[in-house]
Structure 1
């Protein structure tokens, strides 16, 4: 078996407003703008080729694309579309990719940072259990200002799965 797959490069996220989403991610997750693939100042992309390539409806068009970098790890590619038929973000109970988890050192501080940036926690941080348990190991689901679900997770104590698994979540 070859080593062709290396890991997640980026996660695509459609947002209602590119600038507001960028500001939230900078404030909430210490992200930085890497580059704009496609700027709002450029003509709207509404060709059949774009629609087919992305698998979007015939009445939707691409407005802008921006790559956001996180301090350590994958990037987030923000998309803004225009058209009459956009749906609300899915919840964890819906089919499809339903959340992205961000590893943090201090979960309480991270939740406060998300809230100060305009996000909202679903509950207070909760202890991780079972195969992920350990002192200080916690997670917290939050909502972005536009309603997408993110998870903040921290596990400062080695998790029990490490005794049974040949692979770690993060390289040492």
Structure 2
């Protein structure tokens, strides 16, 4: 079996158009298509997705984001919804976007309605290297997003021959069979 990469990340949002505008404005995402002609609901959907009884998927939209995973945006109705998780909560807590110019990306994210939680800082530990930087931010609806750039070799590379997947690399020739 060959594992290639993460294909998409699903994100539940309160407003599909606001979220689409944010990802387009902040990251140059492209709207590919809307998946549903009508809402999805009922016992099969509730069981299949592990969602509460009465929950209804109102819309699903697929976005293309650079060279990495696609973003699949969902809106729901018919169920109580909690605030977005923060990095200290259990479960999927953030997604990370690799950028070439982190200062420009941070400005663009903020201009699109996101909130920077800090200025770009140097990556620590095994990720350290000249010009390797990151920052965390929040989307307009409160999900956590990280921006990262690592143009230089990372410190961990001196300790192992294994390598992280990097955007822009030919992952087809570098994948490992599991």
Equivalenced residue count is 167
Give the match for residue 173 of structure 2. none
Structure 1: tracts of 5 or more residues without a match: none
Structure 1 vs Structure 2 CA RMSD: 1.3
Deviation at 1:163, TM superposition (A): 2.3
Give the match for residue 161 of structure 1. 156
* Matched-pair contact (CA < 8 Å) for 2:96–2:145: yes
SS of the equivalent of 2:57 reads strand
Give the match for residue 118 of structure 1. 113
TM-score (norm 2): 0.89
Consecutive aligned runs of 4 or more in structure 1 exceeding 3 Å deviation: none
Deviation at 1:142, TM superposition (A): 0.3
Give the match for residue 85 of structure 2. 90
Deviation at 1:103, TM superposition (A): 0.5
* Distance in 1, Cα, partners of 2:29 & 2:76: 22
* Matched-pair contact (CA < 8 Å) for 2:42–2:54: no
* Distance in 2, Cα, partners of 1:49 & 1:120: 38
* Matched-pair contact (CA < 8 Å) for 2:26–2:112: yes
* Matched-pair contact (CA < 8 Å) for 2:12–2:74: yes
Give the match for residue 19 of structure 2. 21
Aligned partner (choices 58, 77, 80) of residue 75 of structure 2: 80
* Distance in 1, Cα, partners of 2:150 & 2:57: 39
Aligned partner (choices 106, 127, 130) of residue 132 of structure 1: 127
User: Do residues 152 (structure 1) and 147 (structure 2) align?
Assistant: yes
* Distance in 1, Cα, partners of 2:149 & 2:72: 24
* Matched-pair contact (CA < 8 Å) for 2:52–2:79: no
1:37-84 residue CA offsets vs partner (Å, 9 max, x unmatched): 114xx2x32211111111110121110001110111110110000124
TM-score (norm 1): 0.92
SS of the equivalent of 1:51 reads helix
